[in-house]
Chains A and B, each alone.
Chain A
């Protein structure tokens, strides 16, 4: 089977559309992130989170309103996969054991014939949350710097570094924007926690993978076709690698979708971020990274 045998798409023409689409998505994401604020999960916000498994399904709203009094303020209550499992998050500053027994006592009263067991707890103190946040931020910044330098050394052209890192920013901001916008209505957790940061860095690695393969072909073609226009040469490189870009994206998308469906509730947010990342990362290496290189190259030549 062969797709894209000898493709001859005019990517550079599509770059114009790509720039508009990316521009709109980026601006929208940034507006969403700044107006709504990042929706932090337990790791970065701190608090106490309990996952309760009941014998029979329970009503989320009922649990929330019943706990509001005893916990001094309504907790966040969400489904955790099946309707029997619910997640309760509270900022109540009390002792862990006391908070847990308050929750269990209230549930016992509310559902006397429907026993609950705690199957998972996450308690993160405010200081620890700050540390985790700082660590995550450092990891992302550090990753971007290392990538910028590696590409600079490997391709000896800062426009490539800028194109690659620009595409990464593009990918991460759009995924972040989607996560921020839909965190409340999603049927699974889309809050930013450590696992999501790991997913982001993986997206960074993956999107880079795609971008680097294209860049590698540009480098190769620039030596083979010295007289060709820079634009045309980049377009040829994109077409040359198109088959590989699409096939790898398909296999990766297969496995992250499998993870999303079969990986269990704990990995839902993580694998969803990867799904989005693979799609947007593929798009960006075709329409954003090289487009930036072309633009920057033009400017470099004009000055």
Chain B
């Protein structure tokens, strides 16, 4: 047949390209099986000798999604409202705080950009007011005379650079932690996505990602202030409890009815301690202390903070945390830290982090310690007090250390966080998905068997229903799967479980084009045409229906790809790859085979 030379050329070329891109995947699988079968002793040696080659193979293989190989997917959001508050700094007033809070709510409800919402909200409240009253920047040329648009652009640019920096810092932390082939990228305008294949300790990763590493040195609050505040708050809750209760029996039960006394003990370990509670009750204590009436009872120059680790653990595993009164003013922050390392306290043998400050920090540290001999200085990290050692002498060499760490791993992570730099704004984990390696393994198996069984059933059905025609369609179907995988490998797409489902679905739908063609051929034969004329008519008449049906499904694939996230994207990709591959194999490949088999006028070919 004329023109079939080109068609055969295309088929061979596509097949060659697919195999070329799939080869590393196959080789990698073979290598892995080989390595697993090696005896223990030889295994390490072999892996080491071929490290580079094995890694290249792995990198060029069709990559598996986290749902198949196991791992952790985390979406972090940069706290833009907090960033704006910090940028406003000393200019922040109640109006702006209110505008920020409202805009935050609206941005969530409408799914819009927070900064745009904020500027709108600000202008709505007072059309004549200018945002320039709150923000200053010499480097960005933001002055009192800047327009609201300029401020908006400035804030957006600050946010973008904060996201960018957050991503860099996370990358440094993840690299130091040592995860193979992590993927870290920005999503939308304020989100960072982190994908970590095969991590086991989720807790460590969480802290590593979220830790703003805001290290602060603060003075402890005055002991008598701590005492007075505690008494006042306790009295407040006792009075409230007795006036609320009408039941006399409950009244007689004494302090059991004071809600704060129920969850927090006021027996203190030292003069700076406000009280202590079990780990489970700390949230309830926070809630009781956050109430505005209670906040008024706490003096202005004192804030209450929890200790980072329990000071006591009962044999049953109950942990007690202490609440400490510190000053609201920060004497110094962690920016001055130049070096940090893990070592052990010589007396307690507990892990701790030693820090070296730069010259500016050392100078300030010397002044602060000199002025506060005999008093404790609290070392606060991300809002938790790690320790509050008494200053014994003036420290002039710029050294300090953080104790109160639970284990060496925590100390190592802390060093990592301190050295990779502080995050420009707090990060929130807004999505976290983890899949264990065993579940991933099970999913791969399930996907593989589904594909195989689906393929066999459809193939048998096609032969039974369309005889020789069906066998030709089956050949096309098998090549089709090779093409789909080839396309995925060539475009460096990731194979996910929904992606495999897409392939299985394609097996069922790919034969559709052949069903359309073969049915058409049968119809043409019924009108009395010769076999070759019927084939010609069948292919050409079925074409418009095939195109229409596939174009619409392809559209759905594009839409799914652009709106979906994670594994769903994988489904969309295989769906689209499946359409392209199946059109090619169902129209071109079967045609070549059918033409070849009917090259003689007398040839017979059954379409069932």
A residues sitting closer than 8 Å to B (CB atoms) are: 1-2, 6, 51, 53, 70, 94, 96-98, 102, 105, 117-125, 127-128, 130-132, 134-136, 138-139, 142-143, 146-147, 150-151, 154, 194-195, 197-198, 201-202, 204-206, 208-210, 212-213, 215-217, 220, 240, 243-244, 247-248, 250-256, 258-259, 262-264, 266-267, 270-271, 274
**Residue on B with the closest CB to A208?**
B552
Cα separation A119 to B109 with both chains bound (whole Å): 33
* A205 to B553 Cα, complex, angstroms: 5
Distance in Å from the Cβ of B470 to the closest Cβ of chain A?
10
Per-residue interface assignment for chain B, residues 271 to 284, with 1 indicating a CB less than 8 Å from any chain A CB and 0 otherwise: 00000000110010
Contact yes or no, B559 A142, CB < 8 A: yes
Q: Are B446 and A255 in contact (CB under 8 A)?
A: no
Chain B residues contacting A102 (CB-CB under 8 Å) are 280
Q: What separation, in Å, do the CA atoms of A146 and B560 have in the docked complex? A: 13
Assembly CA distance A172 to B232 (angstroms)? 61
Please name all residues of chain B whose beta carbon is closer than 8 Å to the beta carbon of A252 when the two chains form the complex: 505, 508-509, 512
Which one, B317, B450, B501, B563, contacts A135 given CB within 8 A? B563
- In the complex, whether B453 has a CB less than 8 A from a CB of chain A is yes
B contact residues vs A (CB 8 Å cutoff): 67, 75, 77, 108-109, 111, 202-203, 206, 279-280, 283, 317, 428-436, 438-439, 442-443, 446-447, 449-450, 453-454, 457-458, 461-462, 464-465, 497-498, 501, 504-505, 507-509, 511-512, 515-516, 519, 522-523, 526, 541, 544-545, 548-553, 555-557, 559-560, 562-568, 571-572, 575, 608
- What are 21 A-B pairs at a CB distance below 8 A? A1-B465, A2-B608, A105-B317, A123-B429, A128-B77, A130-B108, A135-B564, A138-B563, A139-B560, A139-B563, A142-B563, A198-B571, A201-B560, A204-B556, A209-B550, A212-B545, A244-B512, A255-B505, A259-B505, A262-B446, A263-B504
How many cross-chain pairs have Cβ atoms below 8 Å apart between A and B? 219
- Rounded to whole angstroms, the CA-CA distance of A220 and B542 in the bound complex is 11
The residue in chain A whose Cβ has the minimal distance to the Cβ of B283 is A94
Contact B555 A258 (CB under 8 A): no
Contact B519 A243 (CB under 8 A): yes
Q: Is the CB of A154 within 8 A of B430?
A: no
A54 CB to closest chain B CB (Å) equals 13
Contact yes or no, B431 A263, CB < 8 A: no
CB distance from A237 to the nearest CB of B (A): 11
Contact yes or no, A1 B553, CB < 8 A: no
Question: A198 near B564 (CB under 8 angstroms)?
Answer: yes
Alpha-carbon gap, A117 to B572, bound state (A): 32
What distance in Å separates the Cβ of A37 from its nearest Cβ neighbour in chain B?
Answer: 19
B519 CB contact (under 8 Å) in A124, A131, A154, A247: A247
Of A122, A142, A151, A274, which one neighbours B505 at CB under 8 angstroms? A274
Are B436 and A205 in contact, with the CB atoms below 8 A?
A: no
Q: Say whether A124 contacts B431, CB under 8 Å.
A: yes
**Bound-complex Cα distance A60 to B232 (A):** 47
> How far is A119 from B438 in the complex, measured between Cα atoms in Å?
7
* Cβ–Cβ < 8 Å partners of A220 in chain B: 541, 544
Chain A residues with Cβ below 8 Å from B541 are: 220
**Chain A contacts of B431 at CB under 8 A?**
123-125, 128
Contact A267 B432 (CB under 8 A): no
B504 engages A258 (CB within 8 Å):
yes
A94 CA to B562 CA, complexed, in Å? 33
Q: How close is B188's CB to chain A, nearest CB, in angstroms?
A: 8
Q: Residue of A at shortest CB range from B457?
A: A254
Asked if A270 contacts B436 (CB within 8 A), the reply is no
Chain A residue numbers with a CB within 8 Å of B429 are 96, 123, 125
Smallest CB–CB gap between B352 and chain A, Å? Answer: 23
For the complex of A and B, list the 6 residue pairs with the smallest distance between their C-beta atoms, beginning with the closest: A255-B508, A264-B446, A139-B563, A205-B556, A252-B508, A125-B430
A contacts with B: majority SS = helix
Contact B435 A119 (CB under 8 A): yes
Whether the Cβ atoms of A250 and B548 lie closer than 8 Å is no
- Assess the B555–A143 pair: CB atoms within 8 A: yes
Chain A residues within 8 Å of B515, by CB: 244, 247-248, 251
- Known pairs A205-B556, A212-B548; A247 contacts B465 (CB<8 A): yes
Q: What B residues does A264 contact at CB under 8 A?
A: 442-443, 446-447, 497
Check A255–B555 contact: CB distance below 8 A: no
Q: Could you say which residues of chain B place their CB within 8 Å of the CB of A134?
A: 111
The answer to whether A206 and B553 have CB atoms under 8 Å apart is yes
| Contacting residues, chain A, for B75 (C-beta < 8 A) | 128
- B551 surroundings in chain A (CB, below 8 A): 150
CB of A25, distance to nearest CB on chain B (Å): 23
For B458, the closest partner residue in chain A by CB is: A251
Q: Is A120 in contact with B439, judged by CB distance below 8 angstroms?
A: yes
Asked whether A120 lies within 8 Å of B436 as measured between CB atoms, the reply is yes
Which residues of chain A have C-beta atoms less than 8 A from B509's C-beta? 206, 209, 248, 251-252
Q: Which of A53, A121, A215, A248 is within 8 Å of B433, CB to CB?
A: A121
CA distance A264 to B440 in the complex (A): 11
Which residue of A has the minimal Cβ distance to B551? Answer: A150
Q: How far is the CA of A14 from the CA of B46 in the complex (A)?
A: 70
Contacts of B433 in A (CB 8 A): 121-123
Contacts of B571 in A (CB 8 A): 198
**Contact for B552 among A119, A150, A270, CB less than 8 A:** A150
Pairwise interchain contact B206-A97, C-beta atoms closer than 8 A: yes
User: B555 touching A254 by the CB < 8 A rule?
Assistant: no
Asked if A258 and B454 sit within 8 Å, CB to CB, the answer is yes
Q: Please, which residues of chain B bring their CB within 8 A of the CB of A117? A: 436
Bound together, the chains give a CA A218 to CA B464 distance in angstroms of 29
Give the docked Cα–Cα distance between A201 and B565 (Å).
Answer: 14
Contacts of A250 on B, CB cut-off 8 Å? Answer: 461
Q: Which residue of A lies closest to B446 (CB)?
A: A264
CA distance A53 to B436 in the complex (A): 10
Residues of A within 8 A of B450 (CB): 258-259, 262-263
CA distance A143 to B522 in the complex (A): 35
Say which residue of B516, B544, B553, B568 sits within 8 Å of A244 (CB atoms): B516
Q: Are A248 and B512 in contact (CB under 8 A)?
A: yes
Cα A257 to Cα B551 in complex, Å, equals 25
A231: min CB distance to chain B, Å: 22
Known: A143-B556, A254-B454. A263 touches B446 (CB 8 A): yes
Q: In the complex, are the beta carbons of A258 and B556 less than 8 A apart?
A: no
By a CB distance below 8 angstroms, the chain A residues around B575 are: 202, 205
Q: Write the nearest CB–CB distance from B437 to chain A, whole angstroms.
A: 9
The answer to whether B519 touches A258, judged by C-beta atoms less than 8 angstroms apart, is no
Assembled-state Cα–Cα distance A89/B330 (Å): 41
Tell me if B505 and A256 are in contact (CB < 8 A).
Answer: yes
Which A residues are CB-close (under 8 A) to B458? 251, 254-255
Alpha-carbon gap, A134 to B551, bound state (A): 26
Residues of B within 8 Å of A150, CB to CB, are 551-552, 555
Chain B residue nearest to A270 (CB atoms) is B501
Choice from B435, B544, B553, B565 contacting A132 with Cβ under 8 Å? B565
